[in-house]
Amino acid sequence: MAETIKLVDVTKCDGCRACMVSCKNWNDLPSEMEDFHGSYQSHEKITANTWNVLTFNEQERKDGGLDWLFRHSSCLHCTEAACEKACPENAISHTEFGSVVVDYDTCVGCGYCVQACSFDAINLATYIDKNGKEFRKAQKCTQCTDRLEEGLQPACATACHTGAIVYGDKDELLSSAEDRLAQIKERYPNANIYNPQGISGTNTVYILADKPTTYGLPENPKVALSQIVWKDYAQPIGKMMLGATTMAVIGSFIATNLNKKNHSSEGDQSHE
Amino acid sequence: MEFTRRQFLKLSGAVAATLAVVELGFDDKGARAKTREFKIAELKPTPTICPYCAVGCGILVYSKGDDVVYTEGDPDHPINEGSLCSKGTTVRQVYTSEKRITKPMYRAPGSDKWKEVDWDFALEKVAKNIKETRDRTFIHKEKGLTVNRTDSIAYLGGAALDNEECHLLQKLFRAGLGLTYIEHQARI
């Protein structure tokens, strides 16, 4: 299967927020009331029950004009995902569509992924089980993997009426992004394609009208070295040690038992 | 330490079994990402028109029993081609919201409380008030011209009305009752 991505062209966005609502509608997420923060933005940031937030950013131009910059912000589905590396339970994994999803059965709600994420896109939701006990699970945008499996588009891309969010073939969309970038360069000199290579690209690629930092995106996100060491080296070695120890214990137990048998049945014929 | 053939087999079997158990712990790459059940599987969508603004986008309503589980822009509709605005996307809540009012409500003159009433009461009350107000305020002539109108009643229509309904409502309110204040909710 050809690789697919979600392309978000912020210059086409008119800030209607249908992506936010359609996400809640498809994923049956409860609404979250927030106080007025002094801007048009409805929610301050992504939360466990608000998987995508349309950010409104007022930016003064050098010529005295104003740029009102919108961005559909949600999980970027990094190719090298820090959350996946941070997860001690291997509850976070990549799907065949390149989306990063949380296995809610395995997740223990430790919150390591929340700290690891460079984009603040994953959060812990608190639930109450049938005994009244609180438990937590990591929640974030799934890129509507359940819809993708059925051949549908993500809910946000379906709802978007300006075509700012499109989902489709990776190569096709990336080349169309280059064309679009050439078109908007005159209006937005700082425009760029945000597909950070430090994490081998993301499955949500942005065409930004200004520098990533203006949109609150890290210039060059990376998976922390400590996490790589932990997940790719320390953890497997630790498991191996655990395995080796278990093997040694069981092995020696059996060997001792056999020896004992030897002693009892064959008298003192065998000595160590 | 010497082994008989039997002991050697036992030991190697134990090692193999231990390895097999330990191996299970290593096998994390094969774990396929699990996603949830497809919530509109086997549901037949019902097409409808968005009730909010005058654009009239098409919406597909996925209902299960007497619950609406999902609504989405109708991709076959020529106006919106599957997309929707943030307000149209919330149309599911018209049915599912706890705040939805399902019975006629009546606030008596001077009262500060709404109370539930039945439809007969509500319709009769509306009809009576329209008749009474129209009779009281009807203007036949103004400056020598026949006007036959009332300025005391206004009518507010909605975007969910189609052309035929609007035609009938114009007939009833403008031609029939003589209203001049006829407006539309989606006048922007």
C-alpha to C-alpha distance for B132 and B127, rounded to whole angstroms:
9
Pairwise CB contact (< 8 Å): B25 & A243: yes
- Domain around B116: 101-130
Pairwise CB contact (< 8 Å): B83 & A251: no
Residue A197 confidence (pLDDT) above 50 = yes
Pairwise CB contact (< 8 Å): A21 & B70: no
CATH number of the domain that residue B88 is part of: 2.20.25.90
More confident residue, A191 or A237: A191
Q: Which helix (H) or strand (E) holds A50?
A: none
Q: Which A residues, 204 through 223, put their C-beta within 8 Å of a C-beta on chain B?
A: none
Pairwise CB contact (< 8 Å): B15 & A251: yes
Q: What confidence tier does B2 reach under pLDDT thresholds 50, 70, 90?
A: low
Tell me phi and psi for residue B40, to 5 degrees.
Answer: -110, 20
The residues, ordered by sequence, that sit 6+ positions from A220 with a Cβ below 8 Å of its Cβ are A196, A197, A198
Does residue B106 form part of some domain? yes
A272 touches chain B (CB under 8 A): yes
Of B18, B33, B73, the CB nearest to A93: B33
Average the pLDDT over B20-42 and give the result.
59
Q: Which A residues, 44 through 83, put their C-beta within 8 Å of a C-beta on chain B?
A: none
Does residue B5 form part of some domain? no
Q: Which residues in chain B are closer than 8 Å to A26, comparing Cβ atoms?
A: 39, 70
The C-alpha of A89 sits at a distance from chain B's nearest C-alpha, in angstroms, of: 10
Of A81, A88, A134, residue with least CA distance to A111? A88
Average the pLDDT over B124-146 and give the result.
95
Residue pLDDT, tens place only, A160-186: 999 999 999 999 999 999 999 999 999
The C-alpha of A63 sits at a distance from chain B's nearest C-alpha, in angstroms, of: 32
Give the residue on B whose Cα is nearest the Cα of A99: B33
Please check whether residues B186 and B158 belong to one and the same domain.
Answer: yes
Q: Which A residues, 155 through 194, put their C-beta within 8 Å of a C-beta on chain B?
A: 155, 158-161
Average the pLDDT over B106-124 and give the result.
95
Domain count, chain B: 3
Q: Measured in whole angstroms, how far is the alpha carbon of residue B13 from the centre of its chain?
A: 64
CB B178 within 8 A of CB B138: yes
Average the pLDDT over A217-246 and give the result.
84
C-alpha to C-alpha distance for B40 and A158, rounded to whole angstroms:
15
Cα R_g (chain A), whole angstroms: 25
Q: Which residues in chain A are closer than 8 Å to B11, comparing Cβ atoms?
A: 251, 254-255, 258
C-alpha to C-alpha distance for B78 and B83, rounded to whole angstroms:
11
Q: Measured in whole angstroms, how far is the alpha carbon of residue A179 from the centre of its chain?
A: 28
Pairwise CB contact (< 8 Å): B86 & A16: yes
Please check whether residues B66 and B90 belong to one and the same domain.
Answer: yes
**Res B153: pLDDT:** 95
Average the pLDDT over A151-167 and give the result.
93
Does residue B32 form part of some domain? no
CB B148 within 8 A of CB B139: yes
- Residue B65 burial class via C-beta count within 10 angstroms: exposed 0-12, middle 13-18, buried 19 and up: exposed
Residue A223 confidence (pLDDT) above 80 = yes
Of A41, A99, A49, A105, residue with least CA distance to A75? A99
Residue A117, marked binder: yes
**Res A17: pLDDT:** 93
Does residue B53 form part of some domain? yes
Provide the CATH topology of domain A4-223: Alpha-Beta Plaits (3.30.70)
Of A103, A150, A159, the CB nearest to B89: A159
Q: Which two structure tokens, joined as six digits, stand for A10?
A: 């912020």
Averaged pLDDT of chain B:
85
Quote helix, strand, coil % in chain B, to nearest 5.
Answer: 35, 25, 40
Torsion of CA A99, A102, A106, A110, to 10 degrees: 130
Please check whether residues B106 and B90 belong to one and the same domain.
Answer: no
Residue B115 confidence (pLDDT) above 60 = yes
The residues, ordered by sequence, that sit 6+ positions from B70 with a Cβ below 8 Å of its Cβ are A25, A26, B39, B40, B43, B62, B92
Residue A261 confidence (pLDDT) above 50 = yes
Write the ipTM. 0.77
Give the residue on A whose Cα is nearest the Cα of B14: A251
